[in-house]
Amino acid sequence: MTTITIAYRNIFRNRRRSIMTMLAIIVSAMAVVLFGGYVAMIMLQLETEFVRRSGHLQIFRAGYFDFGAGQPEAFGIGGYAALIDRLRADLVLAPKLRVVTSTLAVTGIAGNFAEDASKTVFAQGQVPSERERMRHWDDYGVGSGRHRTSALSDDDVEGGVIGIGVARMLFLCDDLGVNDCPAPPADLTTRVVTAQDVPDEDFSDLTALDAVEPAHTDPRPKLDLLAATAGGAPNVVSLAINRAESQGNKVIDDNFIAMHLTLAQRLVFGRGTPKVTAVVLQLVHTADMAAARAYLTRLFVAEGLPLEVRDFKDLNPRYGQITGLFRAIFTFIALIMGVIVVFTVVNTMTMSVMERITEIGTLRALGLRRGGVRRLFVAEGLMLGMIGASLGVGLALAAAAAINGAGLTWLPPGNADPVDFKLVTVEAPQLVLSAWVLLMALAALSSLLPANKAARMPVVDALRHV
Amino acid sequence: MDEDDVVRLSGVTKTYWLGKVPVTGVTEVSLTVRRGSFSVIAGPSGSGKTTLLNLIGCIDRPSRGTVTVCGKDIARLADDHLADFRARTIGYVFQTFNLIPVLSAYENVEYPLLLTRTPVGERQRRTQAMLEAVGLADKHGQRPNELSGGQRQRIAIARALVKDPGVVLADEPTANLDSRTGHDIITLMRAMQQRLGTTFIFSSHDPDVMAQAEDLFLVRDGALVDRQVGDRA
Ligand SMILES: Nc1ncnc2c1ncn2[C@@H]1O[C@H](COP(=O)(O)OP(=O)(O)OP(=O)(O)O)[C@@H](O)[C@H]1O
Ligand SMILES: [Mg+2]
């Protein structure tokens, strides 16, 4: 029977007021935990999406990131195979690595000459099996949602995937079975889209020059891909389109082509030394990213290699924008909730002090120190916070479990594919724990003001109070 | 100063300030209270009885003069030390009982022993004994609002006496009770005082209470106007 007992019993003295106060704390706890869980979910899903797509780290030739876009010939990495071997064998790095692969980014013009249509495209040469493995990274258990099997494969060098915008503009919707492709406007006479630089001539004989053109007849729809070679001369390869895929972003959709690395290298480097524009590293855990990046940077400096390292946040500025936005909204909500809790608890505790002035005087006359009075009211506030925060967090966890159990899927901002709607609560306990602890601390701190007022009251005046 | 004086006031003046207006509580009061006595401070309303008890009870400080309780000059004690001193030395009985509403009868009596950090065994023994002494052992689990006025004041007396204080102060302890209950309460206190040898100081304008006094101090308009010392009872 000490401070705690007295404080606890006083909570039940004015039930209605205590319940209203706890309700404010409960609602705050629920709002913070549930919205925090939502934001955490978005951040993890977004990170997963970007890490699946572009890996954690990409190694470029120094300057490529800022100045090299569209210039694979000038900013290519020639010794990439040796570099990859070197990284895979590195004692420090290897245990942290999940996938090391390479990619060649090419800007070119894709033509569907059967339809007399062409457009500028941004093509990615990839190693299909390694890319596919990257798409299965799931360190946070986000799941694969409606995961598509890759439309590219290592032994299908001519195969390609295009964005649905590319399919639309090059009139391949029907051939590729793309749904809801709008019919082109009737007055669209010239079918050459954004091709100011393309000489209006037939490239079909250039295609014919390609020595590796397969002899057998392939039923897949074809695109001819034109780009400048390392020497500056135009070169053309033929791409057999396996599928059109949505990229979750119109600009990318309208320009995207994924193809086999070998074919991309054939397009850019012909029979010269094949290069890549980036070596892509996917780590087992994102937590290792900063250390791995620093390690690589040191390594390149030490060995005098003209290479630079960028992480997925550099490569996808949208990651920072979206997470920053949600973090700001979360902070705003948490602040409002905090202010509500502070006002409610200050109000409740002030009323509690006012009602108990004679009691305060009595306790002081009996020999309770000022600090004892202060402790009494702070304990009461803390207890309101404890009960409220515990109930609130408990209810929020129950609600989250119910929502997560409902098996919903959704399309997070920035994602191309829908994924499971699973609020991140117990999986990231630091949010739940800090909400719980902070709300209790806030309630205790808020009661400090009224508690001090009670403690400072002159005993004689308190006893005279009626 | 007599060794047997529990309380000693010399030239004590207390002035309250209502804004810039001074209000006299007591002026130039000097008195001593003998150890083990049953003293009453009597006087009409507003004469300064409560003010005197507050000064003796160390919950107020004099504007001038010195207050010595159980050999301690209370002016020299800092607030926390004064609180500790009250916890050990002063027992309080209030006119309005002032029990802690969230504590049971037993817990109310036990509370002062918690303040003095009395070991649990002794605490239980003393609390139980005190409840029996005031005849309310069977009400130990009751909350104050479940007790009658007389029962509450008995609990308050038990609470004041449980720590075996140097002096018990009772500010008009019967004013909120009917005369019969009031009489019983005074009789109980007198009996306890004789049994325990505790010093009791009352304030009252109840003739029944005044009749019980060994030493009687009469105050009027904040000044001590008469004293009748010796065994009047
Ligand atoms: N805290 C205070 N602030 C201002 N004035 C006070 C205070 N306490 C007492 N007084 C004034 O001091 C004078 C003495 O008051 P006190 O309460 O000591 O009288 P009392 O004899 O106890 O009266 P009662 O029989 O009504 O209880 C009164 O005029 C009162 O108004
Ligand atoms: Mg009075």
DSSP secondary structure letters along A364-402: HHTT--HHHHHHHHHHHHHHHHHHHHHHHHHHHHHHHHH
In whole angstroms, give the CA distance from residue B127 to residue B16. Answer: 38
Phi, psi at residue A241, to the nearest 5°? -85, 120
The dihedral through the CA atoms of A62, A65, A71, A77 has a sign that is positive
**Nearest CA of chain B to the CA of A369: how many Å?**
5
B231: pLDDT strictly greater than 70: no
CA quadruple A24, A30, A32, A35: dihedral sign: negative
| Dihedral sign of CA atoms A50, A106, A262, A158 in order | positive
Contact A460 B54 (CB under 8 A): yes
For residue B76, pLDDT over 90 is answered with no
- How do beta strands A159-163 and B21-34 pair? unpaired
Q: Is the beta carbon of B22 within 6 A of some atom in ligand 1? A: no
pLDDT tens for each residue of A140-149? 888 765 556 7
pLDDT at B2 over 80: no
CB contact at 8 A, B167 and B70: yes
Name chain B contacts of A457, Cβ cutoff 8 Å. none
CA torsion sign for A388, A394, A399, A400 is: positive
Q: Closest ligand 1 atom to the C-alpha of B95?
A: 27
Looking at this predicted complex, what is its ipTM?
Answer: 0.95
Residues A41, A411 contacting (CB under 8 angstroms) = no
Report the distance separating Cα A165 and Cα A181, nearest Å: 9
Q: Check if the beta carbon of residue A211 is closer than 8 Å to that of residue A125.
A: no
**Cβ B54 vs Cβ A460: under 8 Å:** yes
- Say if CB A109 and CB A120 are below 8 A apart: yes
Tokens 């799941």 found at: A143
Say yes or no: CB of residue B46 within 6 Å of ligand 1. yes
Residue with tokens 């590219």: A152
Q: What is the pLDDT of residues A159-200, one digit of tens each?
A: 999 998 998 888 888 888 888 788 777 766 555 445 454 455
Q: Whole-model pTM? A: 0.82
pLDDT for the residue numbered A341? 96
- Residue B51 CA, closest ligand 1 atom number: 18
User: For chain A, give me the number of helices (H) and strands (E)?
Assistant: 17, 11
Give residue A214's pLDDT band: very low, low, confident or very high (50, 70, 90): low
* Ligand 1 contact, A461 CB (< 6 A): yes
Put simply, whether A369 touches B (Cβ < 8 Å) is yes
Residue A89: what are its φ and ψ, rounded to 5°?
Answer: -95, -5
Query: What 8-state DSSP symbol labels residue A194?
Result: S
The domain segmentation of chain A, as residue ranges, is: 2-47+320-463, 63-305
Give residue A37's pLDDT band: very low, low, confident or very high (50, 70, 90).
very high
Atom of ligand 1 nearest to the CA of B18: 4
Lowest mean pLDDT among A68-77, A164-173, A180-189, B216-225: A180-189
Q: What is the pLDDT of residue A206?
A: 53
CB contact under 8 Å between A6 and B98, yes or no, is no
Q: What three-state secondary structure class fits A172?
A: coil
Atom of ligand 1 nearest to the CA of B54: 18
How does DSSP classify residue B138? G
Burial A136-145 (b: 16+ CB within 10 A, else e): ebeebebeeb
Rounded to the nearest angstrom, the distance between the alpha carbon of B25 and the centre of ligand 1 is 6
A269-287: per-residue pLDDT in tens?
Answer: 888 889 999 999 999 999 9
pLDDT in tens, B15-33: 999 889 999 999 999 999 9
Indicate which ligand has the atom closest to the C-alpha of B42: 1
- What is residue B10's predicted lDDT score, i.e. its pLDDT? 95
Residue ranges of B 55-114 with Cβ closer than 8 A to chain A: 57, 59-60, 79-80, 83-88, 90, 92, 94, 96, 98, 100-103, 107, 110-112, 114
Residue B47, judged by CB atoms within 10 A of its CB (0-12, 13-18, 19+), counts as buried
Is the pLDDT at B126 greater than 80? The verdict is yes
- Distance, CA of A55 to CA of A75 (rounded, Å): 20
User: Residue A60 — φ and ψ, nearest 5°?
Assistant: -120, 165
User: What type of residue sits at position A151?
Assistant: A
Backbone torsions φ then ψ of B24, nearest 5 degrees: -80, 125
pLDDT of amino acid B233: 46
Q: Which whole number is the average pLDDT over A17-37?
A: 95
In angstroms, rounded to a whole number, what is the distance separating the alpha carbons of residues A143 and A48? Answer: 10
Sign of the CA dihedral running B101, B103, B107, B110: negative
Per-residue model confidence as pLDDT tens digits over B152-211: 999 999 999 999 999 999 999 998 999 899 999 999 999 989 998 999 999 988 887 888
**A217 has pLDDT over 80:** no
For ligand 1, is residue B221 a contact (CB within 6 Å)? no
Mean pLDDT of A292-315: 94
Q: Which residue of A has its CA nearest to B87?
A: A367
At residue A215, the pLDDT reads 52
Question: What distance in Å separates the CA atoms of residue B202 and residue A258, rounded to the nearest whole number?
Answer: 99
Contact B153, B125 (CB under 8 A): no
B21 lines ligand 1 (CB under 6 A): no
Check B80 against A370: CB less than 8 A apart.
yes
Type and span of the H or E element at A99: strand A97-112
Say how many C-beta atoms besides its own lie within 10 A of residue A338's C-beta. Answer: 16
d(CA A346, CA A340): 10
pLDDT digits (tens, 9 = 90+) for A352-407: 999 999 999 999 999 999 999 999 999 999 999 999 999 999 999 999 999 999 98
Taking a 5 Å cut-off on Cβ, the residues next to ion ligand 2 are B 50
**How many Cβ atoms from other residues are within 10 Å of residue B44's Cβ?**
12
